[in-house]
Structure 1
Amino acid sequence: MLVSIAIKNFAIVRQLEVNWHQAMTTITGETGAGKSIAIDALAQALGERSDASMVRTGADKAEVIASFDVENLPLAIEWLKDQDLLSDNDCILRRVISKEGRSKAYINGTPVPASQLKSLGSQLVSIHGQHAHTLLTKPDFQRNLLDEFGGSTKLSQQVSYAYKQWHEKSRQLETLKQQQEEFSAQKQLLQYQVDELVEANLIIDEYSEIEKEHQRLHHGQELLSSSLQALDLLYENEDGNAYSVLQNVMSTLNRSAAIDEQLSQTVELLNTALIQLEEGAGELRNYSDNLDINPQRLSEIEIRLSTLVDLARKHQVEPNDLPAKLQSLTEELESLSITDEKLDALEVEIDQAKVQYFELALKLTTVRTKNAAKLTIEITKSMQSLNMAGAQFELAIKSDESSFSKFGFDSVEFLVSANQGQALQPLAKVASGGELSRISLAIQVIIAEKVTTPTLLFDEVDVGVSGPTASAVGRLMKSLSKNTQVICVTHLPQVASFGQQQQFVNKFNVNNATETKMALLTETERVDELARLLGGDIISDTTRANAKELLAIAQAA
């Protein structure tokens, strides 16, 4: 329940602290005194949108602190635990609004986004405003109210999600079909390029390898001639060659080394050279024997090189990069390829999504129809308790599987007969302002009974009612307060008298600045306030006596 609220520099409130009680509290005051300011301030602590106009003129910031006792609220405690924000059984919501319009939010002293205030606040307080009746004629509001009453909001969300999935997949299919047509010309070009490169039988590093082979074949005769000439000079010339000359040198030096061992190292080096010369001659012989002088192979290589160079020029890459280019073009082609299999698979998914949507929507229709019958009975009874004898209410549902939307198959309409014998007609056509207010209140009370929110705030929902009807309104609210905390802003003495306690809002001027304060009335003060509401500013013995009687009757109810 709401324990206290502290307000500073909010609208015309300079500073205000109010402690709240269990059961039913009524708030009264003169017109324009700011009876709803506490409600508006609390809404800020609950995460509603803020703006700079809420900051008191001349102040740098406005601040609202609302304290709740959550000891008996397991869902709120679980939420606070999940967010690591639990602090004993207390829950303190704080909102600070700067004069520039920026705001900061806190839960138990920890900074949080305003959205978290709203998420937690929905479990703590339910606010019913005086303009709720203006929404009653709107089809969306009527449908949402039915879902809220029947606890089918989650199922309604599932229907909406299934509808979204179905239509998203359908949109994807249409997009793919359109892309399939748009990509046709591009695909043809890519396919031609890929086929051309595939037909070229590209091999990694092929260009470098055959370029080397081309060099050998192209200079084959020159290479053969020079290698044979070198072999002749080194080893095979019978008239003299390097090998025989070095042998003669070695023979001479071997004899000399036998006389002077200082030549031994030289002899060893020359001996090594002799061996290497012989091995080199063998390599030259092997090279010349195997040197391929093949005009046909040379022609084939030149054709291949020309092909690779032409392809490289066409694709603006180096010849060695052609295999990578083929891979890139293949991947690009695949990305544009929307196969019939892919389209068929998506069509299957669409059918499945449609089936799921229809199953959920049919289930939602069944639940709504069942709950509409219950709500019809309860609202009719509630309306009649508000001095609308003979009034009838019907929550009509029309379901059409061929007319589906994200809300399901159903159109929901509130039908009403304000007087006995009149036919049921759409609410907007038959209800006067006063009747609409009473119907709205009847509905809000029924909905409030179904909601587990520990604190219910009614902000002048009794606008347009008076006399015996006002007493009925007060009695209904008091009955609600048996199980939950009820706070009601009212201008009617009949309603105000039903509160177990009553707050009075007063507006006054200090140093040419308007301020508002709120105070809990004593029994005597309460009688005077009820007398003022009954008779105006002049309180007589008669109006005071009437107020005492009104209060006694209401408190005994």
Structure 2
Amino acid sequence: MLVHIDIKNFTVVKHVELSLQNGLTAITGETGAGKSIALDALGLCLGQRADTNIVRQGSQRAEIVAHFDVNKLEKVKAWLNEEMLSQEDNPDECFIRRVVSKEGRSKAFINGVAVTLSQVKALGSKLIHIHGQNDHHQFLKADNQLALLDGYAQHQSLLAQTKSAYAHYSEQSKTLKALQTAQQQRLDRVNLLQYQVDELNAFAMVEGEFEQLEIDFKKLNSIQELIQVAEKSCYVLKDDDDSNALSLLNTALKGIQDNLDTDPELNASYELLQSAVIQVQEAYTELSHYQSGLETDPEQLQAIEERYATALELSRKHGTSPEKLHQVHSELANEFTQLQNDEASLSLLEQSCADSLAGYRKKAYALFESRQTAAEKLSKEIAQSIQQMNLPHAVVNTQILHNDKDKPHGLGNDEIQILVSVNPGQAPDVMERVVSGGELARIGLAIQVIRSRDYSIPTMVFDEVDTGISGQTASIVGKLLNKLGAQSQVICVTHLPQVAAQGHHQLFVTKLTDGITTETKVLRLTKEERVNEIARLLAGDELTDTAIANAKDLLKL
């Protein structure tokens, strides 16, 4: 519950401190005194948008601090712990502070820690619900009516399941649509790749093959020249009967050998010549084998020439070098396989998408059934509540229309209409057609009371929700708020004595001026002061004995 609020330099408020209690607190005051200022300040503290004109003239900044007792609010304490904003030394208390400079800069704090406005709003929604003067008009909108019904039904699990099923279907549907949109392009690409891959499969070049083709091509193309080179070399080395390198080396070797005993220094030369003779002999043997292995094969040469030329042609076609043709072949084959898989996946995805849609429809229908059950109960409860507010013939009928052929939505496929009749013989219809402003205000109040109970909001704030009602109806509304205040904290700005008299506590708002500046004050009224204030509300500024007697009667004094 809200324990205390401290307001500084907010519009015409210089400094106001309010200590609040459980039960119904009625706020009254003269017209124009600023009865709603405290509520506006509270709304700002809880995350509402800040304007520069909210800062009191002559001040540097406005500051509002709200103090809450969260001892029994387990969801609030869990949220604070999750956000690491709980006070370790006193987890049962929570302070929200909002500061707005005259330049419009805004800062927010929870338990002294700087936070974002979204965090303040998230916490504020768990602590207080503020119902403004015209907020009952929100229940004319279908989306707000649906939110009301879902809150009343308390089927968060069904909502979460429907949203999850919708998200799954939506993701698959987008993927399927993308595949279907690109299907023709994909088919064209598959046909092209089919031709290219078949051509490369037939050629079947392997890694390193082109390099070997170049070597073989050059060799076969120069085979005659290589044979001649080998023959000539063998002739020079050994086959020339008149003079060859081997015989000359042997002659020199024999001459040195004959003189080794004469001069030992010839040993080194002798060994080198021996090595030379051996190497020449080996070279001759290798060249002989090489020569015998060289054969002219026109068919082989033609085959290599053709494959070499084909490799060059294919590499030009695919914009690559012949050495990388095998790599291009592999990449195209992989792409071809992937696109074929995509075609198969398209069929599977179509079935999967259909299954996801069926799953979503099932969850949405379960949500619809839950809404139908809740709608009947909600209609009866709203009708009973507004019947007590001097609308004895009121009838409420909440219709839920389910369309399982409609486009999926995260909140299901239901349309809601709250139909109302307040006069005998009048057929139920949408509210804006059959109820007056005062009647709508009563319906809105009934809904707010029901919603506050279902949402377990500890503090309810009503800003002149009794506008458009009077007399017996005002008394009934006051009793309703009093009853609501018995189970939670209720703060109500009112101009009706019947409502104010039902308050467990009463605050009076007054405006003071010295001709230069204006300041709003909020006073807590004693029993005697309450009598005078209720009498003023009954009779105007002139307090008569009759008005005072009526005030005491309303206050049951």
Regarding TM over 0.5, the answer is: yes
Indicate which of 423, 431, 453 corresponds to 1:449: 453
Give the match for residue 417 of structure 2.
413
- Point out the more displaced range, 29-38 or 450-459: 29-38
Give the match for residue 121 of structure 1.
124
* Match status 1:219 vs 2:210: no
Give the match for residue 248 of structure 1.
251
Shift of 1:151: 0.9
SS class of match (1:32): coil
Is the CA contact 1:504–1:519 (under 8 Å) kept in the aligned structure 2? yes
SS class of match (1:136): helix
Shift of 1:251: 3.4
- Point out the more displaced range, 318-327 or 50-59: 50-59
* Match status 1:18 vs 2:21: no
* Amino acid paired to 1:531: A
Distance 1:308 1:381, change over 3 A: same
SS class of match (1:31): coil
* Match status 1:516 vs 2:520: yes
Indicate which of 277, 295, 311 corresponds to 1:274: 277
SS class of match (1:470): helix
SS class of match (2:182): helix
Distance 2:242 2:513 in 1: 136
Shift of 1:456: 1.6
SS class of match (1:123): helix
Is the CA contact 1:389–1:420 (under 8 Å) kept in the aligned structure 2? no
The percent identity for this pair of structures is 42
Distance 1:292 1:34 in 2: 115
Shift of 1:358: 2.7
Indicate which of 490, 494, 497 corresponds to 1:493: 497
Is the CA contact 1:51–1:102 (under 8 Å) kept in the aligned structure 2? no
Indicate which of 136, 151, 154 corresponds to 1:151: 154
Give the match for residue 197 of structure 1.
200
Distance 1:433 1:310, change over 3 A: same
Is the CA contact 1:13–1:515 (under 8 Å) kept in the aligned structure 2? yes
Give the match for residue 237 of structure 2.
234
Give the match for residue 368 of structure 2.
365
Give the match for residue 71 of structure 2.
71
Distance 2:412 2:193 in 1: 46
Shift of 1:344: 2.8
Distance 1:19 1:250 in 2: 127
Shift of 1:295: 2.1
Shift of 1:53: 5.1
Is the CA contact 1:144–1:153 (under 8 Å) kept in the aligned structure 2? no
Shift of 1:403: 5.4
Shift of 1:130: 2.2
Gaps of 5+ in 1: none
- Point out the more displaced range, 511-520 or 304-313: 511-520
Shift of 1:116: 2.2
Distance 2:238 2:5 in 1: 114
Indicate which of 369, 382, 394 corresponds to 1:379: 382
* Amino acid paired to 2:379: T
Is the CA contact 1:63–1:95 (under 8 Å) kept in the aligned structure 2? yes
SS class of match (2:460): strand
SS class of match (2:503): coil
Distance 1:272 1:293 in 2: 35
Shift of 1:277: 3.1
Indicate which of 205, 209, 228 corresponds to 1:206: 209
Distance 1:404 1:226 in 2: 86
* Match status 1:472 vs 2:465: no
Distance 1:110 1:257 in 2: 106
Note the alpha carbon deviations across 1:502-549, whole angstroms, 9 max, x for none.
233334457845543433333344333333333333444543443333
Give the match for residue 305 of structure 2.
302
Give the match for residue 504 of structure 1.
508
SS class of match (1:122): helix
Let me know the Cα RMSD of the aligned residues.
Answer: 2.9
Give the match for residue 531 of structure 1.
535
* Amino acid paired to 1:454: P
Distance 2:94 2:294 in 1: 95
What is the correspondence of 1:136-175 to structure 2 with a 5 Å cutoff?
136-163=139-166, 165-166=168-169, 169-170=172-173, 172-175=175-178
TM-score, with normalisation over the residues of structure 1? 0.89
Distance 1:518 1:244 in 2: 133
* Match status 1:105 vs 2:114: no
Count matched residues. Answer: 553
- Point out the more displaced range, 83-92 or 374-383: 83-92
Distance 1:327 1:537 in 2: 97
* Amino acid paired to 1:232: Y
Distance 1:262 1:353, change over 3 A: same
Note the alpha carbon deviations across 1:484-509, whole angstroms, 9 max, x for none.
22122222222222222223333445
* Match status 1:458 vs 2:462: yes
* Match status 1:6 vs 2:6: yes
Distance 1:58 1:314 in 2: 81
Distance 1:37 1:429 in 2: 33
Note the alpha carbon deviations across 1:384-407, whole angstroms, 9 max, x for none.
221222322222334454557534
Give the match for residue 349 of structure 2.
346
